[in-house]
A and B are shown apart, each in its own frame.
Chain A
Amino acid sequence: MSDTIVLGAVAYDPKVVTIWDGFRAWLRQRGCDMDYVLYSNYERQVEDLVARRLSVAWNSPLAWVRARRLDPSAQAVLMRDTDRDLTSVVVVRSDSPVNDVAELAGRVVGTGAIDSPQATLIPLDLMGELPISVRRFDVGIGLHGDHIGGERDAARALAAGEIDAACMIDANHLRFAAEGILPAGSTRVIAQTPLYDHCNMTALGGSSPALEQFTALLLGMDYADATARPLLDLEGLTRWVPGRTSGYEPLESAVDRAGFYDRKGEVTADEYRP
């Protein structure tokens, strides 16, 4: 592969074009020849990464798990400061008789899309073998929960009394309050998952001068720099931080329990057609 950094990203929203166009221009102005390729789903992106068609992939946590299983040389070179130490919550209506996860037995729990780490896989792992009825809100399959439509639909169904509990990432509990879907005081959190990490910039194998330059430039992006700030705001971070892989254990465990991928990274989940 030449000195060009070919970055893969998933087009979960039209703004993804704006984001990576912006990063490409910002990097090129600083001597880093980056181009990007957009994917309609994370599975094909990961497959292209391990086929060495990409230099780096801007991966969801689930895509990271698969990339690592497909190719153990996968490394997380970068992540956003906002990707670290997230949690998901299980929420019931304030007037619900349910006070903890065990009391959800026999009840209907709403989740996000089948492949959402934060609104499906990790929270369901928290419930273990509890006999619950899962109602999945499959929006944006293949986007690994980047499209929060399923999460939002589950919240709406909770508010409407159609389900007994809903799973969502912690930040979306605040967001849905602001959107009026789950007004403040209308819900109660009965469980919170352990801390986990979210997206990372995945590369394979050893480093290269081009990758080191790419990484160094992104790590140097300064929120005080007016040319960088709009890009950081759009991508939802205040600074890039070095990648770490210590925050993916909850998802690894959840993927195994759900049988989403096998240990070699093949897709084994039923009903999953990205």
Chain B
Amino acid sequence: MSTIDLGSLGVDCGAHLLLDRTLSRLAPGQKVEVSGTDVNLGFHLPVWARSRGHRFVSGPPPTIVRGDVDSNRLSGAIRAGVTSDVVDQAPASWGLAARGALVETGGPPLVGADLNERDVVWSEVAPRLYAQAAAGQWDPATAIDWTPPGLPAEIEAAVVQTMTYLIENEQAALTVPARFLGRIHPHFREVVGFLATQVADEARHVEVFTRRAGLCGHLLGVSGAGGRASLQTLVDEPEWSNASFLLSVLGEGSFLSLLSFLQRHAPDPVTARVAQLAQVDEARHVSFALGHLGEFVTHRPVGRDRLRAALERRHDALVSTSGLSAAVHDSLVVLAAGSWDPAAIGIGWEAVQDLQRDMDEGRRRRLVRLGFTETQAEEMSALHTKNFM
């Protein structure tokens, strides 16, 4: 016979914890004799026992016979996999439970988390890249010296137009992973975590580009209809792998070249710095997409065909739009030129030509990494939106 002395502790101030602890070590039907000096113990004990499915025998000594409610509550409970590995398919019945948790049956199934297959969702690089992302978050207030640069008005206008373009692109890059976050089964928590950092990264980029645009008091530039149409096709892509491919491999991949261009040709240190910080984040997004899509096409032989089809669909949808607006293109030229001297403009023009070649090379290189042939990569890179993202 077990015994428990509750001392002066009452059931109304925590004694049930001691009772629970003692009873949890007993099998249903086994008894524990209870002693204690709290004045209300005599009638609180049976109340508590009744509410917990135990039997109370008034004694003396007062005795509780362990019921089977606690063990029945966990009848049929299963572990949601193991903490250190992911399963091939995470069932909806695990709900929001932590990976490895003991899941009581009967809870509501997880609704809407339809991306639950390892082949589609998981990436071996996710834990490492999530850790890098978490460690690499920077504070816009302190990471950048926000001293206004005092550029000539027309050069400043070119910077502002470029920032206006970047902001809407980063907004699209925020919206796309945010749309998929709730659809990814939380079992794949490092993927969810990585995408959450990606969303946070893009929010920060929107912030710093906005702040740079307004740094010298200029009104923002033009948001071209063609550019927005291109971005809308990214936001509208319903399939996770396709969206990741179009956004992160091709779009953000191209942006790595653009941000590198901005660092190299920026007419002021603030523009160079925001481009540099954003580029580090974007490189991580590209690495993640390449990692998870590389595994996806390995597991799913038709995966490459589907990615290519998504690219072709997007190209067809955009065939009647203007692509990169002239305002953005010309701003990049002026920004690289740094002055209105004809020779400088010529150099700026050439720099933007180089940028587009660099983007194309980067896209082809990444497509080859995903297992496309050189010829396929060349064709596919040419189908990518002229709006860069």
Residue interface bits A216-258, CB-to-B below 8 A is 1, else 0:
0000001110110110000000110000000000000000000
Residue interface bits B49-75, CB-to-A below 8 A is 1, else 0:
011010000000000000111001101
Inter-subunit contact A223/B48 (CB<8 Å): no
Inter-subunit contact B10/A189 (CB<8 Å): no
Contact residue range for chain A? Answer: 20 to 34
Q: How far is the CB of B312 from chain A (nearest CB, A)?
A: 48
Residues from chain B with a CB closer than 8 A to the CB of A86 are 50
A171 CA / B12 CA spacing, docked (Å): 11
Inter-subunit contact A170/B43 (CB<8 Å): yes
Inter-subunit contact B40/A189 (CB<8 Å): yes
Residue interface bits A76-100, CB-to-B below 8 A is 1, else 0:
0000011001110100000000000
Inter-subunit contact A223/B10 (CB<8 Å): no
Q: How far is the CB of B37 from chain A (nearest CB, A)?
A: 13
With an 8 A cutoff between CB atoms, is B106 at the interface?
yes
CB proximity to B under 8 Å, residues A11-63: none
A81, A85, A174: most-surrounded residue (chain B CB, <10 A): A174
Inter-subunit contact A238/B67 (CB<8 Å): yes
Inter-subunit contact B72/A223 (CB<8 Å): yes
Q: How far is the CB of A117 from chain B (nearest CB, A)?
A: 17
Identity of the chain A residue whose Cβ is nearest the Cβ of B52 in the assembled complex: A238
Residue interface bits B350-362, CB-to-A below 8 A is 1, else 0:
0000000000000
Q: How far is the CB of A88 from chain B (nearest CB, A)?
A: 10
Residues from chain A with a CB closer than 8 A to the CB of B106 are 226-227, 229-230
Inter-subunit contact B72/A222 (CB<8 Å): yes
Give the dominant DSSP class at A's interface: mixed
Inter-subunit contact B44/A224 (CB<8 Å): no
Residues from chain A with a CB closer than 8 A to the CB of B10 are 184-185
Give the dominant DSSP class at B's interface: helix
Inter-subunit contact A224/B76 (CB<8 Å): yes
A239 CA / B68 CA spacing, docked (Å): 11
With an 8 A cutoff between CB atoms, is B373 at the interface?
no
Identity of the chain B residue whose Cβ is nearest the Cβ of A87 in the assembled complex: B43
A184 CA / B39 CA spacing, docked (Å): 11
Inter-subunit contact A178/B51 (CB<8 Å): no
In the complex, the number of residue pairs spanning A and B with C-beta atoms less than 8 Å apart equals 62
Known: A82-B51, A171-B47, A184-B12. A223 touches B40 (CB 8 A): no
Inter-subunit contact A171/B51 (CB<8 Å): yes
Residue interface bits A177-216, CB-to-B below 8 A is 1, else 0:
1100000110011001000000000000000000000000
Inter-subunit contact A82/B50 (CB<8 Å): yes
Residues from chain A with a CB closer than 8 A to the CB of B68 are 223
With an 8 A cutoff between CB atoms, is B105 at the interface?
yes
A174 CA / B14 CA spacing, docked (Å): 11
Inter-subunit contact A188/B39 (CB<8 Å): yes
With an 8 A cutoff between CB atoms, is B13 at the interface?
yes
Q: How far is the CB of A222 from chain B (nearest CB, A)?
A: 7
Residues from chain A with a CB closer than 8 A to the CB of B46 are 85, 170
A65 CA / B69 CA spacing, docked (Å): 31
Inter-subunit contact B53/A238 (CB<8 Å): yes
With an 8 A cutoff between CB atoms, is B11 at the interface?
yes
Residues from chain A with a CB closer than 8 A to the CB of B44 are 170, 173-174
A82 CA / B46 CA spacing, docked (Å): 11
Residues from chain A with a CB closer than 8 A to the CB of B11 are 174
A215 CA / B184 CA spacing, docked (Å): 44
Inter-subunit contact A223/B73 (CB<8 Å): yes
Known: A85-B46, A170-B47, A192-B43. A224 touches B72 (CB 8 A): yes
Inter-subunit contact A224/B12 (CB<8 Å): no
Q: How far is the CB of A248 from chain B (nearest CB, A)?
A: 18
Residues from chain A with a CB closer than 8 A to the CB of B73 are 223-224, 229
Q: How far is the CB of A171 from chain B (nearest CB, A)?
A: 5
A173 CA / B48 CA spacing, docked (Å): 11
Known: A173-B40, A226-B106. A81 touches B47 (CB 8 A): no
A87, A89, A173, A178: most-surrounded residue (chain B CB, <10 A): A173
A230 CA / B73 CA spacing, docked (Å): 10
Residues from chain A with a CB closer than 8 A to the CB of B104 are 226
A178 CA / B13 CA spacing, docked (Å): 8
Q: How far is the CB of A148 from chain B (nearest CB, A)?
A: 14
A171 CA / B76 CA spacing, docked (Å): 31
Residues from chain B with a CB closer than 8 A to the CB of A178 are 12
Residues from chain B with a CB closer than 8 A to the CB of A226 are 76, 104-106
Q: How far is the CB of B256 from chain A (nearest CB, A)?
A: 50
Q: How far is the CB of B20 from chain A (nearest CB, A)?
A: 15
Known: A89-B43, A226-B105. A174 touches B12 (CB 8 A): yes
A117 CA / B39 CA spacing, docked (Å): 25
Identity of the chain A residue whose Cβ is nearest the Cβ of B43 in the assembled complex: A170
What are 27 sample pairs from A and B whose C-beta atoms fall under 8 A apart?
A: A81-B50, A85-B50, A170-B46, A173-B40, A173-B47, A174-B11, A174-B12, A174-B44, A174-B47, A178-B12, A184-B10, A185-B10, A185-B13, A188-B39, A189-B40, A222-B72, A223-B68, A223-B69, A224-B73, A224-B76, A226-B76, A226-B106, A229-B73, A229-B106, A230-B106, A238-B67, A238-B69
Known: A170-B46, A238-B53. 17 other contacts (CB 8 A): A85-B46, A170-B44, A173-B12, A173-B40, A173-B44, A173-B47, A174-B44, A174-B47, A185-B10, A185-B13, A189-B40, A189-B43, A222-B72, A226-B76, A226-B105, A229-B73, A229-B106
Residues of A within 8 A of B (CB): 81-82, 85-87, 89, 170-171, 173-174, 177-178, 184-185, 188-189, 192, 222-224, 226-227, 229-230, 238-239
